[in-house]
Structures are given as C-alpha cells and as structure tokens.
Structure 1
Amino acid sequence: MQELLCRIRDCRVCEDHLPLGPNPIIEANKKSKIVLISQAPGRIVHNTNKAWNDQSGKKLREWLDVDEKTFYNPDNFAILPMGFCYPGKAKSGDLPPRKECAPMWHSAVWRELENVELKILIGSYACNYYLGDNRNLTEKVKNYRDYFPEFWPLPHPSPVNRFWRTKNPWFEEEIIPEFQQKIREILL
C-alpha cells in the first residue's frame, strides 16, 4: 500500500492542466474501515497538503460526528478523491476533478484495502462514477438505503452547497443521525 501511495503522490499525468501544479492528495492504509470518495482537493488543501483541511472538511467531520484525531487516523478513514489534485477555480466553486485519476488509480487502491466496511460517496462526481444510475444526487442521497451496505451517498459539504442543505432540511434532520450511528458502529 505504501508503495502505491508513493506512486500516486508522484503522479504527473495532468501536470500541464493544473493551475497550481500536481500535488496528489490521498490517505489510506490496508486497515482503513471507511473510504471517503470525494471530488478533488480544494486550493487550501493543495496548499497545506492536508486532506479536508478547509470548511468542507469541518462540515464533513460534523456530519461524521468525529474529531480531527479520529478523522485523520487512516485506520479509520481512507481518503480517495475522484481527482487527486486541485483542478482550478470555476465560476462557482472549483472545476470538476480531472477524469484521468479514478480510472488510473482507484482499482489499484481497492486491491490494497482489506478492511473496508463502508464507502461514502461525497458529491455528484463520486456518486455518478460509482452508482451510475439515472437518479440525481438528491434522489441518491434520499434513497441511500438502495446502495447499502456498500455505499452511502452524501452531498458535498462545501459552503457552496449551503443552498442545497437549506432546500433539503430532511438531510440533516433525518439522514445525518442515522449516518452518525452507522459511523459509530464501524469505529467501535
């Protein structure tokens, strides 16, 4: 696993397309219990070289009901983005993750993971890649039990998505308590 992580962190395939240059962000070990499959690192994460080290990460840890020590322990959580490097800024939020990363690296990472109990799909890019059905993100999140026990789809916790959370109060009122209970069961 460590050799694979080093190869991923050394990847330069998209170098010419990244505004800040390559800085692949990934965390995992063979014992990781929960895999967080997300979009791509943001600018702050790129600059600090620490996954989920921003407002999105703060909200995600709140949803998971875990502290930073628990979150950053790779025995608990593997961090596997759809794109490993910061893709650049879009009009609203960041650009989509680079399409090269997931097909190039995800299957190799899955072969190394031996203890996964849950794959959390964060945002539409991860949900569409792994679930591939015709439902929109809201329908996938609302019908998360259809993807159990392997996957749990979530919206992205970015501040940009605050309007989605406002329009869908059922998510934090009904789904997050069940989600937190599942996380506690796995981490015990």
Structure 2
Amino acid sequence: MEDLMDALRGCTICAERFAHTATGHAPNPVVWFRPGARLLIASQAPGLRVHEANTPFWDQSGVRLRDWLGLDEATFYDRSRVAIVPMAFCFPGYDKAGSDLPPPAICARTWRRPILEGLDEIELSVLIGGHAQKWHLGGKRSVTETVRAWRDYAPAIFPLPHPSWRNTGWLKRNPWFEAEVLPALRDRVKEVLS
C-alpha cells in the first residue's frame, strides 16, 4: 500500500489537462487514507482550497460534513480510522465561467480499485455526490433519488449530497435528510469507529 500511495502522490497523468483549464494549475494529488481505516468517504474531487492546503475538506463543506457525521476534526483527519478517497485526487480546475470541472474519469480508472482493495477493513462507505454514487452503486438515479433511498443501502453505505454551501437550497427543500438520514448516519459512524 505504501508503494501505491507514493505512486499516487507523484501522479501527473492529468498535467496537460490541468494546464489547459482556467486555473492552469499543476497536479497535486491529495492522499488521505491508510490501511486499517473503517470509514470510507468517497467524494468527488478536491476544491481549490483543498488543493492549496493539501488537506481534504479543508473548507466550509468540511465543517458541514463533520457535523453530518458527528465527528470532531481530530477523528475526521485520523487516516487510520477515516479514509478519504475521492473520484479524482487532484483539483480538476475551473472552466472559463468559474465553475468546478468534473473529476477526470482517468483518475478513478487508474487508482480507485487498487486503493479500495487495500482498504479491506472498511465497514461504512459514505458516498458524497453523483459521481461517487454512480461509481459505487451504478444506475441512473439522481442524487436526490439515491439519498432518499438511503435505507436500501444502509448500514454499509450512506449516500449523501455534497455538503457544499451551494446545496443549502437542496437541504431546505428536503427536510427529511436532516430529520431521518443524519441521525441514522451519526449512529452508524459512532458504531463503526468505536
């Protein structure tokens, strides 16, 4: 696993792609997992702040996610307990309009299976957003439909919307998420990490 992690840290397969984005940045894979972790957070891709800090969810979405999970910062960032494995390990950049680009599919094709095979003690997978949900669950459901069907996947999997501030409207339109999903998620996280 150490060799795999070292190879991932040095990955530059998207260098040309990133150079042609509006941000024109270089690859910076954010590697945040270790064997022995029991909770998998499968997210989309690092944002610009994460790219700069080299720490996943190092922004307001991370504050919201930690609240959803019922975890303090120290536990959330303990790689031996929590593995953060996004669909792409580098910030994909912004388009000309300033929107996040999607995670490059080549990243998941190259790295995802060998990493997940090495994380063989995972008991709970939290799937954040449509890219992670489609990769792990397949199908063509929307994020809302997938999250609404959370009982179909629990207790091993909890699909979530992205905790970004951009989804505040979604949270207001779907009060069942905070009332039903989050209490069950927090109980399961506590059970897995205790």
TM-score by length of 1: 0.95
Residue 92 of structure 1, CA deviation: 6.7
1:49 alignment partner, one of 14, 29, 54: 54
1:136 paired residue number: 142
1:173 alignment partner, one of 168, 176, 179: 179
Confirm or deny that 1:185 pairs with 2:191.
yes
Cα distance in 1 for residues equivalent to 2:33 and 2:11 = 17
Question: 5 Å matches for 1:31-180?
Answer: 31-90=36-95, 91=97, 93-180=99-186
Task: Please state whether the residue corresponding to 2:85 is helix, strand or coil.
Answer: strand
Question: 5 Å matches for 1:21-40?
Answer: 21-40=26-45
Residues 135-159 of structure 1, C-alpha deviations (whole Å, 9 max, x = no match) = 2111110111212343210000011
Cα distance in 1 for residues equivalent to 2:156 and 2:7 = 27
Residue 74 of structure 1, CA deviation: 1.1
The letter of the residue matching 2:117 is R
Cα distance in 2 for residues equivalent to 1:105 and 1:136 = 25
Cα distance in 1 for residues equivalent to 2:176 and 2:7 = 41
Is the 8 Å Cα contact of residues 15 and 27 (structure 2) preserved in structure 1? yes
Displacement over 3 Å in runs of 4+? 90-93
2:21 paired residue number: none
What is the percentage of aligned positions where both structures have the same residue? 41
Task: Please state whether the residue corresponding to 1:95 is helix, strand or coil.
Answer: coil
The letter of the residue matching 2:58 is N
TM-score by length of 2: 0.93
Q: Please list every run of 5 or more consecutive structure 2 residues that lacks an aligned counterpart in the other structure.
A: 19-23
1:2 paired residue number: 2
Cα distance in 1 for residues equivalent to 2:28 and 2:78 = 21
Question: 5 Å matches for 1:5-24?
Answer: 5-18=5-18, 19-24=24-29
Residue 111 of structure 1, CA deviation: 1.7
Is the 8 Å Cα contact of residues 155 and 188 (structure 2) preserved in structure 1? no
Is the 8 Å Cα contact of residues 37 and 81 (structure 1) preserved in structure 2? yes
The letter of the residue matching 2:127 is L
Residues 18-49 of structure 1, C-alpha deviations (whole Å, 9 max, x = no match) = 13210011211110001100000000000011
Is the 8 Å Cα contact of residues 93 and 160 (structure 1) preserved in structure 2? no
